[in-house]
Amino acid sequence: MKLSMQQRKGSKGWLVFTMVSVVALGSTIASAGMGRRAHGKFEEGRAELDVKCKGRPCARDAAAAPVFPEYRLGLQDLQAGRLVAALERADKIDGTKTLAASIVAAKLFDGVVERVEKHPEQLDDPRLVAALRKARFASASRPLEAERLHALSVLANVPAQVPVRTLGFAESTTTQAMKDVDLTLHAMEDSALVGDTKACERASQQPMGLAAQVTVGPSICKTAGRIVESAQRLHHLQQRVRRG
């Protein structure tokens, strides 16, 4: 059974227990290499992850910026008809590069699009037109990137938490789990980007063992799909603006 994101974030001890169990059983490690070779492969993977996590909450010395206070201000902007401010706030939130940020940014972008569709005369405001042209919603192009990097960063810290010497077992098992997680989250994301929720859900069930404990479950697929749909609605409005 897969853990929820909340459970996984508070389950380091459980992950270590899983790792110790895997080591004790000698599961899936023979082909991955031992000792220095296994440690070297693991360090290569962790170094690559550190580069990808630079400036992101998944970095070991970084924390996710709170997005909900900013989101509440964005809702106030929408209610007051300050669409330019809502757009700017949505992109600011999205820039924090977390799944939660993508979700609430999508809600603000949707709010702007809905109001313009109901009151198209608002496009007579050159400031709103300029803000729409500038809006990016960058995370929607890779809606599960933050989750993928978070899962990898959790795994990257597992070997250091194992309380016994493993002669490379922990590193080799973790390296394989990181590869499995990387492939799975990319497959899920690719499916979400083309609107295939079922394929995304099937991909989420593929990981086994340690990888399965940090991979988000199928419920995330609908969330990713909604983010993609929000970006598409924004893009359609932007195309309309560009056509004049």
Mean pLDDT of 92-98: 91
CA dist., res. 214 & res. 27, Å (int): 18
Query: Tell me, what's the pLDDT at 11?
Result: 53
CA dist., res. 79 & res. 160, Å (int): 49
Q: What share of the chain is helix, strand, coil (3-state, %, to 5)?
A: 75, 0, 25
Residue 36 pLDDT greater than 70, yes or no: no
Residue 147: strand, helix, or coil: helix
Computed over every residue of the chain, the mean pLDDT equals 83
Residue 167 pLDDT greater than 60, yes or no: yes
Domain residue spans of the chain: 5-62+145-215, 68-142+225-243
The pTM of the whole model exceeds 0.75: yes
Query: Tell me, what's the pLDDT at 160?
Result: 79
Query: Tell me, what's the pLDDT at 116?
Result: 97
Which range scores top for mean pLDDT: 35-39, 56-60, 130-134, 150-154?
130-134
